[in-house]
Structure 1
Amino acid sequence: MSGHEPEPKQFNPKQPVQLDPPKDDPITYEELSKCDERAGTDPSRPTLVAIKGVVFDVTRNPAYGPEGQYRVFAGKDPSRALAQSSLKPEDCRPDWHDLDDKEKTVLNEWYTFFSKRYNIVGKVVGATNT
């Protein structure tokens, strides 16, 4: 083992995930905010998380539900918080362009991680952080 394994494999789920083709439905910030950790109690409403303006359906993962450790991300675009490895509500915002390269790399890794596990259900309307 040289330690130089191809990086993308580290983001692959342990169990293969069958994903739907990505959608680019427009989702407003208002709609996104209604799909927060409480959405799990309403079967008609998915739990959504946006990263860099792309919206992922995380409904089936209880970590984003009312008792979950990542509930702070639900219904938001927490790109900045993900880049900074922060669970602080005030960091759960979409702007990330002013971050350093290391943090931008972390954000891109999170995007890759999500894209291999969760269906892309739309794009945030007017997102400037893509």
Structure 2
Amino acid sequence: MSFEPKTKVELDPPKDDVISLNYLSKCDGQHEGYPTYVAIKGTVFDVSGNKAYAPGASYNVFAGKDASRGLAQSSLKAEECRPEWQDLSAEHKKTLADWFTFFSKRYNIKGKVEGATNFTDEVEGASATS
């Protein structure tokens, strides 16, 4: 997976806003007046400008939710698009880390999912605050 965008992307400084699950669910590209967001490992990315996340498009399944597990498994199944990923294989965890890097070089970070506990796979000493 290539991490660098073909053309330079000027990103805003990452935000640390708390984004509720209710608000995130409305950021699925289908609610007028809402942006399109995808969360990975509790971090919310604004993918509004990418048509691939629009309703009916191939990646819309990831929009409006923390889709960590689906991305880790390269799965477009709606039931796999959920935040739990810590039980996956090392290979899937690397894929997820690669997706996180890919997104972080292309999309603005809008905040963290409220109550998210899936930032890391380390159980001991894991911190949800930065």
What is the aligned counterpart of 1:104 among 93, 97, 112?
93
State the structure with more CA Rg: 1
Match for 1:36: what amino acid? D
Q: What residue number does 2:13 align with?
A: 21
- 1: CA distance between counterparts of 2:9 and 2:106? 6
- 1: CA distance between counterparts of 2:94 and 2:118? 15
3-state SS of paired residue (1:37): coil
Q: What residue number does 1:60 align with?
A: 49
Q: Indicate whether 1:34 and 2:26 are aligned.
A: yes
Match for 2:91: what amino acid? K
- 1: CA distance between counterparts of 2:59 and 2:53? 5
Kindly provide the CA deviation profile for residues 60-119 of structure 1, in whole angstroms up to 9, marking residues without a partner as x: 001000131100000010100000000000000000000010000000000000000000
3-state SS of paired residue (1:15): coil
Q: CA deviation at 1:37?
A: 2.5
- 2: CA distance between counterparts of 1:48 and 1:54? 10
Runs of 4+ in 1 over 2 A off after TM superposition: none
Structure 2 counterparts to residues 1-130 of structure 1, below 5 A: 10-39=2-31, 42=32, 44-130=33-119
Structure 2 unaligned runs (5+)? 120-130
Structure 1 unaligned runs (5+)? 1-6
Match for 1:106: what amino acid? T
3-state SS of paired residue (2:30): helix
- 1: CA distance between counterparts of 2:84 and 2:56? 26
- 2: CA distance between counterparts of 1:96 and 1:115? 19
- 2: CA distance between counterparts of 1:28 and 1:101? 29
* Alpha-carbon contact 2:29-2:35 (below 8 Å) kept: no
- 1: CA distance between counterparts of 2:109 and 2:35? 12
**How does the TM-score come out when normalised to structure 2?**
0.89
- 2: CA distance between counterparts of 1:67 and 1:126? 29
* Percent of residue pairs bearing the same amino acid type: 62
Matched pairs, number = 119
Kindly provide the CA deviation profile for residues 27-61 of structure 1, in whole angstroms up to 9, marking residues without a partner as x: 0111100100214xx2x310000000000000000
CA RMSD in angstroms comes to: 1.1
